[in-house]
Structure 1
Amino acid sequence: MGADLLSAAPLLETRDLAKSFRGLRALRNHAISVREREIVGIIGPNGSGKSTLFNLVTGFLKPTAGAVYLRGQAVTNLPPAQVNRLGIARTFQGTRLFAQLSVLENVLAAAQLRHPSSLPGVLLGLPTARAARQAAENTARELLALTGLEHQANLRAASLPYGDGRRLEIARAMATRPALLMLDEPAAGLNAGETHALAQLIGRLRDRYSVAVIVIEHDMDLVMNLCERVQVLAQGQVIGEGTPAEVQASVRVREAYLGSDDAA
Structure 2
Amino acid sequence: MGGGRLAGKAAVVTGAARGIGRATAELFAAEGARLVVTDVDAAALDGLRAALAARGAEVTAVAGDVAAVDDARSMIAAAVRAYGRIDVLVANAGILPLSTVDRTEPEDWDRVMAVDGRGMFLTCKYAIEEMAARPGGGAVVCVSSISGVAGQAGQAAYGPAKFVATGLTKHLAVECAPQGIRVNAVAPGTIRTDRVRDLADEPGGAEYLDAIVRLHPLGRLGEPAEVARAILFLASDEASFVTGAVLPVDGGYLAQ
- Pairwise same-fold verdict (TM > 0.5): no
Q: TM-score range by the shorter chain?
A: 0.3 to 0.5
Larger radius of gyration: 1
TM-score (norm 1): 0.32
TM-score (norm 2): 0.33
By relative contact order (CA 8 Å, sep 6+), the higher-ranking structure is 1
